[in-house]
Amino acid sequence: MTTVTPHIEESWKNALKKEFQSEYFAALKAFLVEERSRYTIYPPGPKIFNAFDSTPLHQVKAVILGQDPYHGQGQAHGLCFSVPRGIKPPPSLVNIFKEIHADTGLPLPDHGNLEAWTRQGVMLLNATLTVRASSAGSHQNKGWEQFTDQVIRLISDQRDHTVFLLWGRFAQAKEALIDTNKHLVLKAAHPSPLSAHNGFFGCRHFSKTNTFLAANGMKPINWQP
């Protein structure tokens, strides 16, 4: 079996070495090679591991978990819920900004790029890291979830006093991977317009995250993107 060694930030490369050498990851890579030969895949190759490159393992203070990359042209850049500057923020992201404004008083931003969060230790992790253009969920159950479940376990094991923000039933199922004795798990409805009024609005997860970080001697997050 050929060893797969993706271009990824060094602390993550070392921590995930066994995953990259596994049979399931080799099968996942073969699937992606085949998909790319036939379809447009998002995000672009160099951005697949953007969440890892942007937030090294030893810097993780909070994790926001998404399910799938955006599948529209130009939207996905490897950070869950985030879009590059110049791309219109999708509805879920607009609702995230509304809750931040209501919770913290920060003004609504004029763009949807969340890279500023990642530089402060907020990992923006999708459970599935790739998707076929215009085909939501098309790369689910191909191996990515096994990989990102291990990422969540690693953060739980190797970090202390991390905040996990789990929005919607899919994300909340990942609580089983987290040591809740040393980490804070915040759960709410998904910020999608279909569910945001069922408990995402008013959840105050952003101020709660900062209260927990400060109580454990860490610098709070500036939630202005």
Choosing from 68, 110, 157, 160, the catalytic residue is: 68
Q: Are 49 and 9 in contact (CB under 8 A)?
A: yes
Here the tokens at position 62 are: 């909070």
CB under 8 Å to 82, separation ≥6 — which residues?
93, 112, 113, 114, 115, 124
| 149 assigned to active site | no
SS (H, E, C) 90-139: CHHHHHHHHHHHHHHCCCCCCCCCCHHHHCCCEEEEECCCCEECCECCCC
User: What gap in Å lies between CA 165 and CA 28, rounded to an integer?
Assistant: 27
Q: What is the dihedral of CA 17, 23, 29, 32, to 10 degrees?
A: -140
Point out the residues that are catalytic. 68
